[in-house]
Each structure stands twice: as structure tokens, then as C-alpha cells.
Structure 1
């Protein structure tokens, strides 16, 4: 009895083996393909389940907890700092503080004197004007302003003004001040202040104004004497200071005669001082006609 062999494979495995045996493309067996596919799937699962902390693109950082708010300093009183304190001081208060410090420490006072700018005539006159205002305000309303009662009411303010005059004047005199015009400008303004001093009825109170005139007159004489040594005193004439002094003497009632005499003795060589004579040497010099004898062309003097 003959046995017929089947023409088709009897199992899937045999078909697979047969197919693999005759398939020239795939060099791998089905078992190797299954292993490869399983390995790929396992790798895919691992990639899908990987933790973010293991990722090379992830940099671990520590989340800072909010810092506890610093506790504010305890509220307590304290003195002002020096710059703020100085901002609150007015001129009078600052002057008082500075003066007290200078009196306690003389070396600081010397430093202030050396460092402070020279006071101008305008600044000095302004200070004197403030003393004048205080003197006027101290007078009683109504009544006789030259009476003893009025004198007693304003005596302190009067003394303060005269003391200020006495202290300021030497600063603007030679040799401390060598500019003649500056000295004369100060003296002119201060003499006007003295003119405004009250005239008292009592003879015992008149010495205040009389002494002030005497001191300022001698100050004028000093400046005139020094000016006459420089340039022959032409600056006195060019500024008409000789005429100004004459008017001051008239207003003072002749109490500035010492200054007028100094002007005459130091500049008398110019002749005709204070006169209106056009032929006087003084007027010829001022009018640029000195040396002219019948000629219409004046001979100029001074700087060419």
C-alpha cells in the first residue's frame, strides 16, 4: 500500500522554516525577528516611562522658599544729622552757633577769618541799615524824638549801631584796604548813616553823634592822605570826592572840618580847590586845558 506524501506543509512552523529557507532577502530567522521586535518594544516602553529627572535636558533646581520678611528696626527717637540740622537754622541762629564755637575754640575762629571772603561795601552797608531799622523801630510813637524819654527807649539800639560803625570802619581803611575808591565809597555811605543819627535835646546825649563825626572825619583824612601819595591824588578829583566831602561837612554843621583840612593840605598844590574858577589848576587839569595859552588846541594830560 503506497503512502501519499502531502504536497503542502502540514504545520505553520514548517511553512515558516521552508519559506525562510527559500527567502533570499531576510537573513534572520523568525525567532531572531521576534527577539528584535521584543527588544525594540521594551526599549520604547522604557523611553516612555523614563522619569523627567533622568532626562539630560532637565536641570534639577531647588525651589527657594520665600525668605522671612526682615524685621524693621525698632522705632526710636534720635537727634538730627548735622546736615539736616543746619538746614533748619536761619541766618541769626547759624551766626550765633558759629560765634559760640569760635569763642570756645579760638583756632577755629582764626580759620574762619582766614577762609571767609572779604566783605563788600554793599554787604557792610546792608548790615548797618538793619541796625538803623532797629533804631527807628525802637522809638516811641508820638512825643518828642529828642527827649530823654525817647533816648532811654532807644539807647541800646543806638549803642549797637554806633558800635557796628566803629567795628566796620577800620576794615575799609589803609593799609587793610588799599583801593582808594573802595575806602571812599564806604566812607560816603557811612557818613550818610551818621547824618541820620538822632539829635538829642540834652547836651549829655550829644556825644554819641559828635564822636561818630569825629571818628569818620579822621577816617576820611587818612584815606585822603594815602590817596595823595599815589598819582598825586587825581583819583580824588576824578571821582568828585572833594565835592562830596564838602557837602558832607556842610550837612554835619562843620563837624567834619578835619577831613576838609586834610583835603586842602594834601591837594592844595593843585590850587583853587573846590572853586569854580575855570583858570584854577584843578579845573584846567580836569578839563584837559592845562598849559593852554591862547591856543584853541588843549594840551592833554595823563595817559597818552
Structure 2
């Protein structure tokens, strides 16, 4: 992929939360990566690894502690009011919980049209109505749903409304923050397939955050694995699942259930020892050293840098290099 196609560049991003005078939670701790135009970058990891905080800091919902996020070469955290407004039109978010992210007092039409009104996108009320109805159809709902309230819909339908709201201002970048984790398993694949279809139709770039590894493989071009605020591995989706380098990625992938019992019986699952350390007091050196089966003295004192260990495959581990 050419450097000209980089839509977002994240350099040494840190996001810390001050808990009190003595304790600081290091949610994102020196993370760097690039997102190329037209691709979906999946971000995976256990709950609490910092993936949602990383995504929200990348689009300016949280102020950064250090580092920079460049969107088309422009620093997201240094934009003036006019540029910030234009940025919020280009970059939209699909939230994790469709039950709490949609205003129950508003009708569906007003929820979807709100962004259009802020950015003055329609010349008339008739044009707005037509655009909202088109958006509802594009996400698999009916035009007449526009006059209802969100409590009248199922979880999957609410998430479709959330997707329609995000698409209403014609964005070019979507941050999808675990958009299927609150949905029934039967509905999850439908929503993921809808996102894939819309991405192709609208030439969208997206960052897809999730902890369901099989879904991330299905939707992502490349996948980044986070552990305790660090990016430990980043590779093309097929390559990562076929040939994981980092011991943490290997353990994560070994835990994916296999529907065929014969294959599942012969599959070796890597069981990690101990608990995930606290991001308030992470281990010195490599943050994974307290649970890694291959730990050395160097791991306990020196933090590994994310570097290219195979073409297009980046790993932060002293075992490689």
C-alpha cells in the first residue's frame, strides 16, 4: 500500500487517566499504526486492553496525553473549530450499545436527520424526508420506520438505525466500537455483512474494534492486537490468523472455538497463567512478561518495539529480531 493512501497515522499515542494524586491508569501507552484509505483495520484484545480508548482518542473524543493522530496529514487534536466541524462530518462512530446510544425521546427520523441539520445538508424538508427514507432502506429497514420511537425496535434494528445515523452525513471514515457485542449471535453476522456491503458501496475506510476474533477476521483487511495499552502485533488478516508471531496472539487464536469436534479435539489450546496486570501498575519491560511462557530476563527490563518481522507483519516481541 502506498504512503499516499494513508488516511490516518497514529504516532506514539498515549492516553492516561489520573485516578487520584498517586495513581494513573495508562489506558493507551505508546501506540503507533497507520490506516490506509478503503481498508478496514480490526483492533482486538481482551476487555480493558485499551482498544476503545485508543479508537476514541484517534477521532478526538478524548484528548490525548501524548503523541499525535494525523488525519489526512492534519493533527486531530490541534484543529480549530471550523476544521473540527468538517472533521466530525468526515469521521463518524457506530457505538457499542444500541440501547443507550439512541435518544428514546426522539423519533427515528430526527435521530438520523440530526447530523444533516447540523451540517445544513438538505435544502428542504421534503429532501430531508427522502434522504432519511433512503438511508433506512439502505440498512435494511422500511421507510415507515422513520415515524417510530427506538423502544419499538429490537437490538439489531436499533443498531441499523445507529448505522444509518452515522452514514447520514456521508462520512469517509467509520469508527465501529464493538458494534455487535450487545446483539444476539443470530443478528451479529447480519450486521457485519451489512457493514461490509455499505463499505464497498460507499468506499468507506473503517476501524473495527471487537473482541470476537472470528468476526474481526471476516470483516478486516488488517488486524492489530492490543494488550494492556500496547499494540503487540499488526498484520494482514489472513496472515495473522495463519501465522501469529506474538505469544499473546497465539494464545488468543488458540481459544477460538472450532465447530468440528474431530479437529477441536486435536487442537492445542494455549492456557495463559496468572491474571491480566492492572493498567495502573503494569509490569516493567514487556507488559506481557508476567504471563508469557517464553519470558527472558530481557523481557522484564526492556520494552519491545513494534517492528516489521515479516513483510507487512509487525510484532513487539524480543523473540524476533
Q: TM-score range by the shorter chain?
A: under 0.3
> Hey, which of these two has a bigger chunk of strand by percent?
2
Higher relative contact order (CA 8 A, sep 6+): 2
> Hey, which of these two has a bigger chunk of helix by percent?
1
User: Highest Rg: 1 or 2?
Assistant: 1
TM-score by length of 1: 0.21
